[in-house]
Amino acid sequence: DGGITQSPKYLFRKEGQNVTLSCEQNLNHDAMYWYRQDPGQGLRLIYYSQIVNDFQKGDIAEGYSVSREKKESFPLTVTSAQKNPTAFYLCASTEGAGETQYFGPGTRLLVL
């Protein structure tokens, strides 16, 4: 059963804490993406990676970090520097440049 999985579904962060969101794909896609979605809004690009061991900042990278050590995995860390992290986070992958993006089910991050 191919696709993208994200975990956890809900994540709670305490003040000053770093948290990591997981994204795994078994579609053999090279490119992977992280987006942030605020209520009633569209998607904003945080980071993307076109190949293993390489990634680029998106439009709102401040306060976030990523790694791409394996083709299948692209975890996102929300650091304590991100002052307003409450949002819905979506991971996606594509099979080629400009092709269809496949999305995971999302992780909702809430601040305690």
Partner 1 sequence: SQQGEEDPQALSIQEGENATMNCSYKTSINNLQWYRQNSGRGLVHLILIRSNEREKHSGRLRVTLDTSKKSSSLLITASRAADTASYFCATDDNFNKFYFGSGTKLNVKP
What is the smallest separation between the CB atom of 78 and partner 1, expressed in angstroms?
18
**Cross-strand partners of 108:** 10, 88
Query: Which is nearer to partner 1, 4 or 78 (by Cβ)?
Result: 4
Query: Which is nearer to partner 1, 59 or 69 (by Cβ)?
Result: 59
- 91 neighbors 75 (Cβ within 8 angstroms): no
What is the smallest separation between the CB atom of 25 and partner 1, expressed in angstroms?
12
- 44 neighbors 62 (Cβ within 8 angstroms): no
Binding site for partner 1 (CB under 8 A): 4, 31, 33, 35, 40-45, 48, 50, 56, 58, 88, 90, 92, 94, 97-106, 108
Token pair belonging to 52: 């293993």
